[in-house]
């Protein structure tokens, strides 16, 4: 018995090239200061057809079990000449014309080049190509902007190119009009009119830490920052995020640090789920970036950055949680999304625990591209428990608990995850007993992370039904009925059993946390 559909899912999750553009630069990243000062420019140069598609190119081997579910999003650099300098020549971005030197097999008109790029991606087994989009008209700079009518005509043409070429995803990010809600609204409207089905993603271009001012913030935003370590108190950013979420298809929760990714991202997601709404025509999905189990358990799309070809740098400690050795987590999360696709913020109710858990990290030189936080201890807080469409799970822990999140999908599927904490310079999922209401128990159940025990509470006794469980990275379920404790309407599963089952199909050497699909039938 296989509990996982073999057909690729509908969630607009993707693998983005930005991480590997940065962490395959070799000796070019000569010091932490070079990374902070020149990293963006160097990474922008480091993107081309050979690196991606000439074996063992970045796109050729990783994520094989779920490539057909994922877009490849080509990040900054794909549509400008390699000698373009950032930020001095940011005005050159946004052409949406595949650069011929970088991608020599993509020839012809702009539409034909985009079609060829999409064909390269699909020939390697992926769902299709997505594009990093700069919100501007080429030439917009120093406050000298094209007229609104010119900008609309410009982007209508590019939406038509994308539609004809089969491009299905735009990641709208940094440009001269990044902070213009009116421009982003126009861009979204034009995409719907000229390219039906094209996913348009927005984000706020904020810093990597909630309520911590970044050097590129406006003076007004810096003044508004309250240093409370929470997304809700981060000046104008929460309100602006809600505005972009309301108009678009996908809102990306944006950049984080590797060290505090869980707390930072979870606090953003919880706030947006709690307060978000969508306007007519908007799809209102969240993309939680490279937190696969958070996305799987809370119904968010995923923007994967990790890659097994990330290099080691003696002077950079950029991957403290070993994401490059945790590829199976992506497989498990994306395969769960075949069962329970990401769903919009307005589609279910939302419950957030009052208790806040606070993680912290002392950022030393070389641990992040955000050099402005070197030698500082930064705290980030997030709700201890979050649930969508269902009551909050109950947690018992002797000491500090993990973050616990859960959801009931509109199709009935239930998911739960424990997420690690960042404490005392380590990444730890503290042991905890978690109890979850699942109702009749006749729907798929996804279980992610580590547990001391997990108790599933049913409406009716288990009776003669059996309990089946399967590693979400595998293809064969096992009958585990006799290994569970059956107390009528409560089924308790030992954490050791869930760990063993959830890593049964692990890739040799992979260090991913477990992920299990459960069926009661």
What would the pLDDT profile of 322-367 be if each residue is shown by its tens digit?
Answer: 999 999 999 999 999 999 999 999 999 999 999 999 999 999 999 9
Q: Give the torsion sign (CA, 297, 302, 307, 313).
A: negative
Q: Phi then psi for 233, rounded to 5 degrees?
A: -105, 15
pLDDT at 69 over 90: yes
What is the mean predicted confidence (pLDDT) over 91-114? 99
For 385, residues 6+ apart whose C-beta sits below 8 A from its C-beta are 352, 353, 355, 392, 393, 395, 403, 404, 405
| pLDDT band at residue 227 using 50, 70 and 90 as cut-offs | confident
Confidence at residue 222, expressed as pLDDT on a 0 to 100 scale: 79
Q: Which two tokens stand for residue 146?
A: 């094209």
Q: Which two tokens stand for residue 384?
A: 């201890």
Q: How far is residue 47 from each of residues 107, 194, 283, 324, measured CA to CA in Å?
A: 17, 28, 31, 19
Confidence at residue 219, expressed as pLDDT on a 0 to 100 scale: 81
Average pLDDT, the chain: 97
What's the rounded Cα separation, in Å, for the pair 189 and 185?
Answer: 6
What's the rounded Cα separation, in Å, for the pair 140 and 161?
Answer: 21
| pLDDT band at residue 427 using 50, 70 and 90 as cut-offs | very high
Confidence at residue 218, expressed as pLDDT on a 0 to 100 scale: 83
| pLDDT band at residue 221 using 50, 70 and 90 as cut-offs | confident
- Among all chains, which residue has been given the structure tokens 């050099």? 371
pLDDT at 224 over 90: no
Ramachandran category for residue 362: left, alpha or beta (phi over 0 → left; psi -120 to 50 → alpha): beta
| pLDDT band at residue 185 using 50, 70 and 90 as cut-offs | very high
Per the DSSP assignment, residues forming a β-bridge with 46 are none
| pLDDT band at residue 220 using 50, 70 and 90 as cut-offs | confident
Contact criterion met (CB below 8 Å) for 400 and 357: yes
Torsion, CA 258, CA 262, CA 40, CA 50, rounded to 10: 80
What kind and span of H or E run contains 498?
helix 495-502
Q: Which two tokens stand for residue 303?
A: 């923007």
What's the rounded Cα separation, in Å, for the pair 321 and 441?
Answer: 34
Length of the chain measured in residues: 521
Percentage, residues of the chain above pLDDT 70? 100
Ramachandran category for residue 500: left, alpha or beta (phi over 0 → left; psi -120 to 50 → alpha): alpha
Q: Which two tokens stand for residue 505?
A: 């199909």
DSSP label at residue 44: H
Per the DSSP assignment, residues forming a β-bridge with 458 are 439
Q: Which two tokens stand for residue 358?
A: 């606070």
DSSP string covering 55-69, please? SS-TTTSTTGGGGGG
Q: What angle do CA 165, 167, 170 make, to 5 degrees?
A: 140
Please, what is the end-to-end C-alpha distance for the chain in angstroms? 12
What is the mean predicted confidence (pLDDT) over 257-275? 99
What's the rounded Cα separation, in Å, for the pair 88 and 269?
Answer: 33
Q: Which two tokens stand for residue 123?
A: 């020939």
CA nearest neighbour of 250 among 295, 194, 306: 295
What's the rounded Cα separation, in Å, for the pair 125 and 62?
Answer: 11
pLDDT at 302 over 90: yes
What's the rounded Cα separation, in Å, for the pair 190 and 186?
Answer: 6
């Amino acid at each position: 018995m296989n509990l996982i559909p073999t057909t690729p899912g509908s969630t607009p999750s993707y693998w983005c090239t930005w991480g590997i553009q940065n962490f395959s630069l070799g000796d070019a990243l000569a010091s932490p200061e070079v990374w902070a000062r020149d990293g963006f420019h160097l990474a922008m140069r480091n993107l081309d057809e050979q690196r991606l598609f000439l074996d063992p190119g970045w796109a050729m081997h990783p994520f094989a079990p779920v490539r057909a579910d994922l877009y490849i999003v080509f990040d900054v650099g794909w549509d400008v000449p390699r000698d373009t300098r950032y930020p001095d020549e940011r005005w050159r971005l946004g052409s949406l014309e595949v650069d011929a030197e970088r991608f020599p097999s993509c020839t012809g008109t702009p539409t034909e080049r985009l079609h060829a790029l999409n064909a390269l991606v699909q020939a390697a087994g992926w769902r299709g190509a997505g594009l990093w989009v700069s919100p501007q008209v080429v030439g917009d700079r120093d406050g000298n902007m094209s007229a609104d009518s010119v900008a609309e005509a410009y982007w209508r043409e590019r939406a038509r190119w994308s539609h004809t070429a089969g491009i299905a995803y735009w990641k709208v990010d940094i440009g001269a009009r990044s902070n213009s809600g009116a421009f982003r609204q126009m861009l979204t409207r034009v995409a719907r009119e000229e390219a039906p089905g094209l996913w348009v993603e927005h984000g706020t271009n904020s810093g990597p830490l909630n309520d911590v001012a970044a050097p590129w913030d406006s003076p007004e935003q810096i003044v508004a920052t309250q240093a409370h370590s929470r997304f809700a108190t981060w000046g104008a950013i929460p309100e602006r995020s809600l505005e972009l979420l309301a108009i678009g298809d996908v809102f990306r929760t944006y950049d984080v640090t590797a060290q505090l990714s869980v707390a930072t991202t979870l606090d953003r997601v919880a706030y947006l789920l709690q307060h978000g709404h969508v306007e007519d025509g908007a799809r209102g999905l969240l993309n939680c970036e490279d937190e696969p189990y958070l996305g799987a358990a809370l119904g968010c799309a995923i923007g994967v950055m990790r890659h097994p070809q990330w290099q080691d740098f003696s002077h950079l400690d950029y991957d403290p949680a070993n994401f490059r050795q945790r590829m199976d987590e992506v497989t498990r999360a994306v395969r769960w999304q075949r069962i329970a696709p990401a769903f919009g913020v307005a589609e279910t109710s939302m419950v957030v625990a009052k208790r806040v858990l606070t993680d912290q990290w002392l950022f030393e030189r070389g641990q992040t591209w955000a050099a402005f936080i070197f030698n500082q201890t930064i705290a980030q807080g997030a709700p201890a428990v979050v649930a969508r469409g269902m009551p909050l799970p109950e947690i018992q822990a002797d000491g500090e608990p993990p973050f616990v999140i859960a959801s009931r999908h509109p199709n009935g599927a239930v998911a739960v995850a424990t997420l690690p904490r960042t404490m005392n310079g380590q990444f730890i999922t503290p042991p905890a007993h978690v109890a979850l209401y699942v109702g009749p128990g006749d729907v798929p159940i996804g279980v992610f992370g580590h547990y001391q025990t997990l108790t599933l509470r049913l409406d009716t006794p288990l009776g003669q039904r059996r309990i089946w469980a399967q590693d979400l990275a595998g293809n064969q379920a096992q009958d585990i009925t006799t290994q569970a404790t059956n107390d009528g309407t409560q089924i308790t599963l030992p954490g050791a059993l869930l760990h063993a089952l959830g890593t049964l199909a692990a890739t040799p050497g992979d260090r991913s946390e477990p992920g299990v699909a459960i069926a009661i039938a």
